[in-house]
Amino acid sequence: MSCTSACSRAYAKEDNPAKSRIQVLALGSGRFHLVACDQECRKCVAECPVQAITVNRQGVVMIDRKLCVGCLACVAVCPIDAMRFFPAEPVPFKCIACGICTKACPKGALEIAEKEDSPASRFPFEAAAAVNRDAGMLPGEASR
């Protein structure tokens, strides 16, 4: 998908949707769901033992790659598997609401929105984790 490819090119410097900061899940019947970080949850912020995860002035949860020790506690606590990791890389990653995916979407189907305004806020986020489990992936694992 254009959105995941654009994201992975921007942040992982390669076209590898498994390294995208967002996930697009097929729900069947031509429907898809975008999994990105719930910026209001902040369980990862509280769980980080070295305070490498903070909230910036715009309310976006950010990871300081220099402080992160790669313990993956944030990945374990994320209820929607939006905090992810790639087995070959030591630091987890997540959507930072940059908008690269929205610009890359050829259908204009994506937008950065406040939680209460977003149709995604009504999606049962547990389903996103279930899709990953059904695929045999560990919580937060980007690819097998």
- DSSP alpha helices (H): ranges in 31-72? 43-47
Average pLDDT score over residue span 9-15: 93
Q: Tell me the Ramachandran region of residue 44: left when phi exceeds 0, alpha when psi lies from -120 to 50, beta otherwise.
A: alpha
User: Residue 71 has what DSSP assignment?
Assistant: -
State the chain's maximal CA–CA distance in angstroms. 43
State residue 134's pLDDT score: 53
Question: What rounded mean pLDDT belongs to the chain?
Answer: 78
Look at the block and give the residue holding tokens 């429907």. 31
Find all residues with CB under 8 Å of 78, minimum gap 6, and list them. Answer: 41, 43, 44, 139, 140
Lowest pLDDT segment from 21-25, 62-66, 84-88, 132-136: 132-136
Please report, for the chain, the start and end positions of each structural domain, with discontinuous segments joined by +.
2-38+81-134
Average pLDDT score over residue span 37-45: 82
Cα-based angle 124, 84, 46 (whole degrees, multiple of 5):
80
Average pLDDT score over residue span 87-103: 88
User: Which carries the bigger pLDDT value, residue 109 or residue 71?
Assistant: 71
Task: Using the predicted structure, report yes or no on whether residue 71 has a pLDDT greater than 70.
Answer: yes
